[in-house]
Amino acid sequence: LRGKLSRLLGKGGETAPQRPVQGLYMWGGVGRGKTWLMDMFFHSLPGDRKMRLHFHRFMLRVHEELTELQGRENPLEIVADGFKAETDVLCFDEFFVSDITDAMLLATLLQALFARGITLVATSNIPPDDLYRNGLQR
């Protein structure tokens, strides 16, 4: 798109290829339409390789799988493989981290999901810069 706009505006040639979008983080006050927008996006996606979860349900699943994988090497990589087997787009509603353990797990797990090409879409009431204020949103 940027290259087309540049050509239309007479500003030179092609730009370097852009990296694919890995995620979208929508934040704002209660009742502003974040969940509605995410749901519209989710339902507009073709096929069934998409997943929509409340963030706490997602974390519950992650913890359950980690319990089953106790003693295995790289359990978060295995959890990420499981999500990749099911989905290419993962939508979280109400992203919020209040537990330091979850924050540490998420740092590794989200990287693993991105590495597998999973696109994340999340809603939250917390601006991204405040999500881990002082190391953790309290």
Query: Regarding the domain delimited by 20-126, which CATH topology (the fold level of the hierarchy) does it fall under?
Result: Rossmann fold (3.40.50)
> Among residues 107, 113, 36, which one has the least CA distance to residue 78?
113
Q: What is the pLDDT of residues 35-78, one digit of tens each?
A: 999 999 999 999 999 999 999 999 999 999 999 999 999 999 99
In the chain, where the domains are located = 20-126
**Angle between the N-to-C axes of helices 75-86 and 100-115, in degrees from 0 to 180, rounded to the nearest 10:** 60
| CA dist., res. 16 & res. 35, Å (int) | 34
8 A C-beta contact, residue 36 and residue 135: no
Containing 18, the helix (H) or strand (E) segment is none
**Global pTM value:** 0.80
> Among residues 34, 28, 96, which one has the least CA distance to residue 59?
96
SS3 57: helix
Q: What is the pLDDT of residues 85-136, one digit of tens each?
A: 999 999 999 998 888 889 899 999 999 999 999 999 999 999 988 876 666 5
